[in-house]
Amino acid sequence: MLSERDNALLTRVGPGTPMGELLRRYWTPALLVSEVPTPECAPVRVRLFGEDLVAFRDARGRVGLIQENCPHRGASLYFGRNEAGPDGTCGLRCPYHGWQFDADGACIDMPSEPPTSTFKDRVRAKAYPVHESGGIVWTYMGPAEHMTPFRDFGTETLRPANAAATKIHTPCNWVQAMEGNLDTSHISWLHQWEGVEQIPDDGSDKPGYPTNAMSWKFWRHDRAPRLEIEDTWYGFKYAGIRTTPNGHTHVRVTAYCYPFFTVVAALPFSTRHGVFVPIDDHNTARFTFVTRDVENPHGIGGPGLFERTPFTHARNEQGTGVLPRVYTAENDYGIDRDVQRTVTYSGVAEFVSQDFMVTESMGPIYDRSQERLGTSDKAIIRMRRLLLGAARGLADGAPPPAVDGDLDYRGIRSAEKILEPGADWRALGTDDDPLVRETDPPARLPRAGG
């Protein structure tokens, strides 16, 4: 459990809070590129770390991220005109008095003032730098003098046609939303379904890479995984260790990267990130993005993880972009009690809504002083300790961890495998993994530290 004081330190992210100041030191997903797709398209509201902002793509194609309220009288710039002027300037024009602001926040036109006035030269809207990569518009909201280079998880060399990013809203605190991705034991319960028992043994319950279908059987067979953790320069990785029906050791290795990045275990390894960005203390934007042009080139694992399951998935027409919420607290996540008794463990049809059901039902911010944690919560405990330590360290003048631009963020991977007797799970998914060296060679030699 956490004390009430530590719980507040961990979860509160507004301006001036210790955790909020820490999170602002990292490049953060702000919105999807698809939300501001073309020059002079409609502006978009963005709320990050409790700050109300508006994003727009100007006539020259530059994305701006500025305060929502006009510095003049506070009208919302969301209702502004995204337009270019006859003199070639472009930006977002407030509909109240016509003041116009460019992507850097400079006031470039003030038509309600006399033509001889120089007042516009002394007015700025708060603006944050942005960087487009991997289908996401990223921003840095910390002190300008501490801004570090963009952390490249692999998206900088990703071909635009292969960029795939999603965003979905969940009305709960970012920490409890992220904790589900660092909890390997819940897949043996919350996400289970009765048809797992009927999956035939395909012969892959042996050292090496099993099929995705057999993974479901392993999760159901051993429902109390043992956890081992290894600290890394970027945070930590941990293994959920299960015994298979044939008595072998099956591991799922998941990575956590400061401050809110997760890479969940998958066959044979994965670089797909799940990111839990605080909108404010009570709401989270859950982003995912791919970092490679090709994933799993050998097709290890066979048919996809969800091919045999009865679950549905949140999708839009493109398969990327902002995902709709069909199942929410207002309709009890569509729970079907007959299905819960006979088909699925949760009774909720959509896979990610099973997670939303439990994390949102805790309330906007769960009181962790009421928790009773067990051995399966080791990864969650480690994440909390690292974040609390980093926030306190920053307040005391220490640099935040894992922000340097020359670290090998591209090398952060998860993995899944049945181990040979005596093998160490810690090498899986790393640059020392033979399969990684064959199919995803390192872009450069990593530098230790952080």
Q: What percentage of residues in the chain have a pLDDT greater than 90? A: 92
SS3 at position 414 = strand
Residue 196, both tokens: 């797992």
Cβ pair 241, 249 in contact under 8 A: yes
Dist CA 443 CA 224 (whole Å): 37
- Residue 345 identity: Y
pLDDT for 13: 98
- One DSSP character per residue, 131-177 reads EEETTEEEE--S-GGGPPPP--SSGGGS-GGG--EEEEEESS-HHHH
Domains along the chain with CATH numbers: 28-139 (2.102.10.10), 155-439 (no CATH)
User: Which pLDDT tens digit goes with each residue over 184-228?
Assistant: 999 999 999 999 999 999 999 999 999 999 999 999 999 999 999
Judged against a pLDDT cut of 80, whether residue 446 lies above it is answered with: no
For residue 13, give both structure tokens: 């992210």
Q: Max CA-CA distance within the chain?
A: 84
- Average pLDDT (95-100) is 97
- Residue 428: other Cβ atoms inside 10 A: 25
Tell me the pLDDT tens digit for each residue of 105-151. 999 999 999 999 999 999 999 999 999 999 999 999 999 999 999 99
Within 301-416, where are the H helices?
Answer: 337-342, 351-360, 378-395
pLDDT at residue 448, rounded to an integer: 40
Place of tokens 């039902």: 361
CA distances from 382 to 229, 237, 370 (A): 9, 10, 18
Residues 318-335: tens digit of each pLDDT: 668 999 999 999 999 999
Rounded-to-integer distance, Cα 111 and Cα 84, Å? 14
- Asked if residue 163 has pLDDT above 90, the reply is yes
Average pLDDT, whole number, for the chain? 95
